[in-house]
Amino acid sequence: MAENDAQGERVLPDGWVWTTIGEITQPVEKVKPGENPDASFTYLDISSIDNQSNRIAEPKVYYGAEAPSRARQLVQANDVLFSTVRTYLKNIALVPEAYDGQIASTGFSVLRSEPGVSPKYLFYYALTDPFLNKLGKLQRGTSYPAVRDGDVRAQLVPLAPLPEQRRIVAEIETQFTRLDAAVAGLERAQANIRRYKAAVLKAACEGQLVPTEAALASAEGRDYEPADQLLARILAERRARWETDYLEKQRAKGREPKDDKWKQKYKEPAPPDREELPELPEGWAWTTMAQTGSVIGGLTKNSKRKDYPLQLPYLRVANVYADELRLDDVREIGVREKELERVLLKKGDLLVVEGNGSIEQIGRVALWNGSIEPCVHQNHIIKVRFTYVELGKYILLWLLSMGGREHITRVASSTSGLYTLSLSKVSSIPIPLPTLLEQRRIVAEVERRLSLVAALEASVEAALARAGRLRQAVLKQAFEGRLVPQDPDDEPASVLLERIRAQREARTTAKGKQKVEQMRLPTV
């Protein structure tokens, strides 16, 4: 007869029974590694778990004297480590023999199976969506959402007969091995796509993707404007704009200049240091971000801004990624009228993430698409407004390329080992500048090639997502009793559960007697 739980859980196959995690797991010994200051141990904390493979990947080694305060749980091989923090991240792993007797963080619920319960059966059940979803609803806290160890142990688990548990685990691992092979192939395809995209950008910014304008002009017997002449024109227009803006501001204040001495206040942007820069194709020229446009900082956040009457949408670091704008969560900030002209975004502005000291995060770049108007930017987003708007698309490609990234990290590096960007550092980033006509052809060819692989990239990502769903489908079948055939000769789980309860009671009784005996020992 099928078993059904009084709480309304689904009906289980014959021979199965509902129980709780706590009823089929043993308590774990607590330790204080600081009591042995010279003894080393391997510390398993949440960051040690690779939540993609659900394996322990990067444990740390400490001496007792320097043990973290949360290093308190003595673990054994085949214990299940279940992170109680942000359970949806699935920081879950089975302890291998190599870490038997080591110490885990109190951030884990350490699930040690009772005899008669397969540790891997418990491990795979901990990976199921229904189990995780129920715990997700019990999380407390906002900045550090977590469940209690008791919450984990109170969860129901469908217990199969022990022989069936073993058959289920074997079949799960057989099917997961096939999925792992398929996923490995998809990940290789992803890596190949990334390499192809990097190669396209590299060729584009080295003058090897399309014929250079110099070569075309020579073949067609015509003249062309080389990049050094283009740059001279950009610099002249840059200065002319500055002079116009300066005059307008002075006249608005009633200060008409009497002569041209004010023009000496203009600061010509410094050219790049050519000493370590490679040679460029004919017709190209090295320039800098500052020479091609204005590098502008954003708004500094403070508590007073919430009281300003003018509240506008603004971009944060969380909104800007590599050639990608994520605008689902755009917040508002108070802006003073006199700040508005400086911090207002225009379509075509280049956005550069100042970063947080991490080499991976610093210098993410994207072009503003003008989808939110008006919109301003925070000071951790540096804006570059180009003298010629069409420069932006090519310069974005350069900054996304391997060569561009190298220059970003080079100017951002510091003696402290952290990476920081500033207006002056962004201004000094070197740019290999082709002619305008060549820029247009480069951008068009890059977009054409990348659009061809975009569909392939999307299909690979979809296949990877499908593999994740297939894993859950396998687990769902497993714990509904539909993955392997039942054997009527298996001892029912209800009998197994009664034996586990008896074992627990016997241990409790033995511990009680031991405590009484210790109390009776004479003191010296």
Residue type, 483: L
Q: Are residues 423 and 284 in the same domain?
A: yes
Q: Using CA atoms, how far apart are residues 372 and 357, in angstroms rounded to an integer?
A: 29
Q: Using CA atoms, how far apart are residues 438 and 226, in angstroms rounded to an integer?
A: 10
Q: Within a domain: residue 163?
A: no
Q: Within a domain: residue 314?
A: yes
Domain that holds residue 373: 280-434
Q: Provide the whole-model pTM.
A: 0.79
Question: What is the structure's pLDDT at 523?
Answer: 55
Closest C-alpha among 31, 35, 107 to residue 64:
35
Q: Within a domain: residue 195?
A: no
Q: Are residues 151 and 288 in the same domain?
A: no
Q: Using CA atoms, how far apart are residues 308 and 311, in angstroms rounded to an integer?
A: 7
Q: Within a domain: residue 51?
A: yes
Among 384, 418, 434, identify where a domain stops. 434
Q: Strand 376-377 and strand 311-315: pairing?
A: parallel
Compute CA distances 112 → 23, 31, 127, 279, 317, whole Å: 11, 16, 16, 64, 43
Stretches where the chain sits below pLDDT 70 are: 1-8, 356-357, 415, 515-524
Furthest-apart CA pair in the chain: how many Å?
110
Q: Within a domain: residue 419?
A: yes
Question: What is the structure's pLDDT at 4?
Answer: 47
Question: What is the structure's pLDDT at 297?
Answer: 94
Q: Strand 430-433 and strand 285-288: pairing?
A: antiparallel
Q: Within a domain: residue 169?
A: no
Closest C-alpha among 54, 56, 27, 5 to residue 153:
27
Look up residue 458 and give its two tokens: 């999307």
Among 157, 184, 205, identify where a domain stops. 157
- For the stretch 494-503, contacts whose Cβ atoms lie closer than 8 Å and that sit 24 or more positions apart, written own/partner, are 494/3, 494/15, 494/17, 496/116, 496/159, 496/161, 496/162, 497/17, 497/19, 497/23, 497/24, 497/159, 499/116, 500/23, 500/24, 500/114, 500/115, 500/116, 500/117, 501/23, 503/114, 503/115
Q: Which residues pair with residue 83 across a beta bridge?
A: 108
Q: Are residues 153 and 285 in the same domain?
A: no
Question: What is the structure's pLDDT at 276?
Answer: 87
Look up residue 169 and give its two tokens: 């685990």
Query: How far does CA 521 lie from the centroid of its chain?
Result: 58
Q: Domain total for the chain?
A: 2
Q: Within a domain: residue 492?
A: no
Q: Are residues 140 and 284 in the same domain?
A: no
CATH number at residue 51: 3.90.220.20
Contacts of 13 (CB under 8 A, 6+ apart): 2, 160, 480, 481, 486
Q: Using CA atoms, how far apart are residues 112 and 53, in angstroms rounded to an integer?
A: 21
Q: Are residues 284 and 429 in the same domain?
A: yes
Q: Within a domain: residue 284?
A: yes
Question: What is the structure's pLDDT at 216?
Answer: 94
Among 400, 434, 468, identify where a domain stops. 434
Residue 364 contacts residue 337 (beta carbons within 8 Å): no
